[in-house]
C-alpha cells in the first residue's frame, strides 16, 4: 500500500546549492534527513555541553493544517550523544525562513559537523487549533488531577 505525499514547496537557499533535497531513506520512513548547509570546506566543532544552530539551507511553504517537526537522529544520539535541543522543534505553516536544527552535544567528545552531514530529521504532521471553551468545571475522570508519575512507574 502506498500513500500519496503532501505537496510541500521547498526553496534551496544560495548557501545550500549542490546539496540534495531532504529525502526519505526508506519507503515507509516517517522522517526525512536534514543536512548541514555549512559553507564548502568549513566545519563546526560542537564541544561537550555546547549547543549551536546549524543551518539546513532550505525554506518551506507548508500547507495550512500542517507543521514540520525537527527531530533528533537516533544514530547521532546513540553514538555521539548529539541531539536536537528543543525536540521536536516546530516549523509552523506560515514560517518562510530557513530551517535550522539546534544541536547539543551531550557526549564526552567533540563532535565535528561538516557540510552535507545528516544532522536531524524532519517529520510532517497534521495539526489542529483548539477552540477554547471556558468553563467553571471539567468533567470527572478516574485519573483526575494526578500527574507527574501518579499512574505509577
Q: What is the mean pLDDT of residues 85-109?
A: 98
- Quote the pTM value: 0.89
- Lowest-pLDDT choice from 56-70, 78-92, 99-113, 137-151: 137-151
Question: What percent of the chain clears pLDDT 90, i.e. is strictly above it?
Answer: 89
Q: What is the mean pLDDT of residues 47-55?
A: 98
What is the band of 147 on the pLDDT scale with cuts at 50, 70, 90?
Answer: confident
Q: What is the mean pLDDT of the chain?
A: 95
Say which CATH topology domain 10-126 has.
Deoxyuridine 5'-Triphosphate Nucleotidohydrolase; Chain A (2.70.40)
Residue 1: per-residue pLDDT? 39
Paired with 126 in beta bridges are 66
Residue 144: per-residue pLDDT? 85
Q: DSSP for the chain, please give it.
A: ---PPPP--EEE-GGGTTSPPP--SSTT-SEEEEE--PPTT-EEEE-TT-EEEEEEEEEE-PPTTEEEEEE--HHHHHHH-EEETTSSEEE-TT--SEEEEEEEE-SSS-EEEETT-EEEEEEEEE---------S-----SSTT--SSTT--
Residue 90: per-residue pLDDT? 97
Render pLDDT for 128-144 as a digit per residue (tens, 0 to 9).
999 999 999 999 998 88
Residue 3: per-residue pLDDT? 62
Amino acid at each position: 500500500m502506498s500513500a500519496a505525499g503532501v505537496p510541500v514547496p521547498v526553496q534551496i537557499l544560495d548557501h545550500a546549492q549542490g546539496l540534495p533535497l531532504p529525502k526519505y531513506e526508506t519507503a515507509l520512513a516517517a522522517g526525512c534527513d536534514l543536512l548541514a548547509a555549512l559553507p564548502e570546506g568549513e566545519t563546526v566543532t560542537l564541544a561537550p555541553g555546547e549547543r549551536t544552530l546549524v543551518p539546513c539551507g532550505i525554506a518551506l511553504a507548508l500547507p495550512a493544517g500542517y507543521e514540520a517537526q525537527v527531530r533528533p537522529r537516533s544514530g547521532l544520539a546513540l553514538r555521539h550523544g548529539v541531539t536536537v535541543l528543543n525536540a521536536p522543534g516546530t516549523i509552523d505553516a506560515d514560517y518562510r525562513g530557513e530551517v535550522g536544527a539546534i544541536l547539543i552535544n551531550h557526549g564526552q567528545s567533540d563532535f565535528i559537523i561538516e557540510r552535507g552531514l545528516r544532522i536531524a530529521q524532519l517529520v510532517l504532521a497534521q495539526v489542529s487549533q483548539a477552540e477554547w471553551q471556558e468553563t467553571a468545571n471539567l468533567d470527572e475522570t478516574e485519573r483526575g488531577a494526578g500527574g507527574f508519575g501518579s499512574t505509577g512507574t
